């Protein structure tokens, strides 16, 4: 039987096992930084055990929230921050990462005519963040930023997004080169302090505190986890709420089912990727492509998506190339279906975020531990995903877990009741 380690050592092991790219690296880190000689296999067992305990706590919390009467679910819980919502925006984002999961077919010979198994699966992730609110009477930045009209800046971003989408279409890993900003500013009372960095643009809201929930289960489960987390974060008290995602239907099902009172917003760069795709299909060369792009990007930025749709209708009617026509129709369909989620001029006026940059950087951090062509998960994927999400969360769920565990391990035997 494996000898138990002290809570202090256990905490170090879980931290190394969660942040390292493998169990062997976790073992090496413990040896080098903490002078602890713990094998990689034992690191894995300890980390998985704690991950399972965190999942059990998560499920219990979800069950308790589901048992609340609906009117109570719409209230702010007693332990949630209550003040400061006049200058805060509650934001929920959803997206997916990738990981290779083994199933019952692993190790079995392929049957005649059977397709090659595909082990890539999607990790469903939701980011819940508060943003500092600076509302305006009018759009604070009606003119499109220069970088969005610079092909040397925009096109590499779009190509990188398309490259990340390649492979398993069900696993939509969208990774742009986006800044991973962390600006947790909880004060002693659990309220949010105002940011002091004046270098921020006048319309871009400043992210404050974020928390992450994630699962390999269906999107419906992710929606329930995100809804419960929003309740415990006190998002109900926010005057401004927003839900951001790309155009994938699963994200908007979560919005419609669990966050219908939140303003739906399509990520700006995803929208522009379809604009650029349409311009490529309509143009004869790169110079003409960018001539199409410049006014279309400006219209999208200003919330005049209908003008882009009308322009695409004209391109569809004029083109004789069936491949180009299909691409134009695909782009038009995306813009048409999401036009009510692309009122960017209004969102800037209300100080709502219009990109999922924070979500993309979160997916990157999760994928560093979960994803890899050499990594194949079976039972350990969900516990590890839970711990990585806990580690990223600035609400410190792991610290609460360790404190709760320490309080339960007093070392005293409970006295038996006398008969």
Integer CA distances (angstroms), 73 to 64, 91, 147, 191, 211, in order: 11, 18, 43, 21, 19
Cβ-based neighbours of 129, under 8 Å, separated by 6 or more: 91, 93, 207, 208, 209, 210, 211, 358
What is the per-residue pLDDT across 246-286, written as a single tens digit (0 to 9) for each?
878 999 999 999 999 999 999 999 999 999 999 999 998 88
pLDDT at 172: 34
Q: Name which of 215, 234, 218 is nearest 55 in CA terms.
A: 215
As a whole number of angstroms, the distance between CA 281 and CA 115 comes to: 33
The whole model's pTM is what?
0.84
Strands (E), 219-339: 240-245, 263-266
pLDDT at 104: 67
What is the per-residue pLDDT across 117-170, written as a single tens digit (0 to 9) for each?
777 888 999 999 999 988 788 999 999 999 899 989 998 888 877 766 554 333
Q: What is the dihedral of CA 74, 77, 83, 89, to 10 degrees?
A: -50
Q: Name which of 24, 43, 109 is nearest 375 in CA terms.
A: 24
As a whole number of angstroms, the distance between CA 68 and CA 74 comes to: 10
DSSP assignment, residue 340?
Answer: G
Contact 100, 118 (CB under 8 A): no
Strands (E), 22-86: none
Residue with tokens 């190394």: 16
* Residue 382 φ/ψ, nearest 5 degrees: -65, -45
Q: CA end-to-end span of the chain, whole Å?
A: 35
As a whole number of angstroms, the distance between CA 320 and CA 198 comes to: 52
Q: Which residues of the chain have pLDDT under 50?
A: 1, 167-200, 417-419
pLDDT at 124: 94
Four-residue CA torsion sign, 131, 136, 139, 144: negative
pLDDT at 191: 35
Contact 235, 90 (CB under 8 A): yes
CB atoms within 10 A of CB 197: 7
pLDDT at 192: 34
pLDDT at 3: 55
Residue with tokens 């198994």: 117
Cβ-based neighbours of 258, under 8 Å, separated by 6 or more: 223, 224, 226, 227
Burial call 334-362: b when 16+ CB within 10 Å, e when fewer: bbeebbebbbbbebbbbbbbbbbbbbbbb
pLDDT at 253: 95
pLDDT at 163: 67
127 is written with which tokens?
Answer: 């980011």
pLDDT at 183: 33
Q: What is the dihedral of CA 270, 271, 277, 282, to 10 degrees?
A: 180
């Amino acid at each position: 039987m494996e000898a138990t380690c002290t809570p202090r050592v256990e905490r170090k092991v879980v931290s190394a096992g969660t942040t390292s790219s493998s169990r062997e690296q976790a073992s090496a880190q413990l040896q080098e930084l903490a002078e602890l000689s713990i094998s990689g296999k034992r690191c894995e067992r300890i980390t998985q055990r704690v991950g399972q305990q965190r999942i059990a706590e998560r499920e219990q919390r979800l069950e308790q929230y589901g048992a609340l009467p609906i009117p109570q679910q719409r209230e702010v819980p007693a332990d949630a921050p209550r003040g400061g919502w006049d200058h805060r925006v509650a934001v929920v984002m959803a997206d997916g990462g990738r990981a290779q999961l083994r199933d019952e077919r692993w190790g079995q010979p392929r049957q005649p005519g059977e397709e090659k198994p595909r082990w890539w699966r999607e990790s469903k992730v939701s980011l819940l963040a508060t943003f500092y609110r600076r509302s305006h009477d009018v759009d604070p930045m009606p003119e499109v930023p220069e970088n969005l009209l610079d092909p040397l800046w925009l096109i590499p971003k779009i190509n990188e997004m398309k490259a990340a989408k390649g492979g398993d279409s069900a696993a939509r890993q969208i990774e742009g080169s986006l800044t991973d900003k962390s600006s947790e500013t909880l004060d002693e009372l659990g309220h949010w302090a105002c940011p002091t960095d004046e270098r921020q643009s006048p319309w871009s809201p400043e992210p404050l505190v974020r928390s992450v929930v994630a699962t390999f289960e269906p999107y419906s489960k992710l929606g329930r986890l995100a809804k419960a987390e929003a309740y415990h974060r006190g998002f109900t008290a926010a005057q401004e709420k927003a839900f951001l995602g790309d155009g994938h239907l699963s994200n908007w099902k979560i919005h419609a089912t669990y966050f219908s009172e939140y303003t739906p917003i399509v990520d700006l760069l995803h929208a522009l990727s379809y604009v650029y795709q349409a311009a490529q299909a309509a143009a004869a060369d790169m110079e003409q492509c960018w001539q199409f792009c410049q006014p279309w990007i400006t219209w999208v930025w200003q919330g005049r998506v209908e003008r882009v749709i009308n322009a695409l209708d004209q391109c569809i009617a004029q083109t004789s190339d069936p491949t180009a026509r299909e691409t134009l129709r695909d782009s038009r369909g995306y813009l048409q279906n999401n036009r009510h989620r692309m009122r960017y001029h209004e969102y800037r006026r209300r100080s709502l975020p219009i990109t999922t940059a924070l979500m993309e950087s979160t997916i990157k951090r999760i994928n560093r531990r979960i994803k890899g062509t050499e990594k194949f998960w079976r039972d350990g994927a969900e516990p590890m995903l839970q711990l990585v999400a806990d580690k990223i969360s600035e609400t410190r769920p792991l610290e609460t877990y360790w404190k709760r565990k320490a309080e339960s391990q007093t070392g005293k035997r409970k006295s038996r009741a006398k008969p």
